[in-house]
Amino acid sequence: MIQLNLLPEVKLLYLKAQRQRRLVMSLSIITAGSAIGLLLLLLSINGLQKKHMSDLTKDIKRANSQLAGKTDINKILTVQNQLGSLTPLHDQKPAAARVFDYLNETTPASVSITTFILDFTQNTATITGTSDTLSNVNKYVDTLKFVTFTTEDKDKPQPAFGDVVLSSFGLNTGAGDVSQAASFTITLTYDKTIFDITEKVDLTVPSTTTTRSQVNQPSDLFKPTPTVPAAGGAR
């Protein structure tokens, strides 16, 4: 079948141009509509934000007015601030009550303490006491040197005490109690972790030393300073 193109070429070009113009106009209308829609959306969002901010400002002013009308509001706020600082302050204070547990765990059964001074600011301690012999005093010093501790976070044993020094000692030749025949003073430093109230501390004492915590009926841990007759004197 033979088809003949009876339309002149100019007419064909005109129709093609018409179709292209309609396509461009359609795309332009769609683009313009989208732009207008986006603009309206942005304006709506901006209006909603301004309204929300205005509502928040009104709420804040109303809350301030209500608080300002309360009696002693400044005192109440001060108390609340102080209550909020109690927990941090509690965590900073040392666990001083552990002293008695540590002394029972580390002090040999043959040693008694007459004076114990603890300085939480310098992390130092001074122990004054008595024993039946100077040999047992030396054992006490060695025991303190090798005491270690662990915590829940640090399972590797660490030295609990450092710079353990037998600063003075003597024999109470006139003492009536043989368990107080020798007197001594020990100075030392300690790891502040062992008194950290936020830590659970476990001390490990050398097994070669029998301490009060291992004796069924130990003697008194604390004893008064022995009284020595004037003629005898302490050396």
Length of the chain: 235
pTM of the model: 0.57
pLDDT in tens, 1-55: 565 555 567 777 777 888 888 888 888 889 888 888 888 888 888 888 888 888 8
Residue closest to 200 by CA, chosen among 101, 58, 60, 82: 101
pLDDT beyond 50 at 180: yes
Amino acid at 3: Q
Domain borders along the chain are: 8-69, 94-214
Structure tokens that stand for 73 in this block? 């509001």
CATH class of 94-214: alpha beta
**CB contact set of 108 (below 8 Å; sequence gap of 6+):** 131, 136, 139, 140, 143, 209, 210, 211, 212
Backbone angles phi, psi at 34, to 5 degrees: -65, -40
| DSSP reduced 3-state for 122 | coil
Question: Could you give the CA distance from residue 223 to residue 235 in angstroms, rounded to a whole number?
Answer: 20
Burial class (CB in 10 A: 0-12, 13-18, 19+), 214: middle
Predicted confidence (pLDDT) per residue in 81-111, tens digit: 666 655 565 556 788 889 999 999 999 888 9
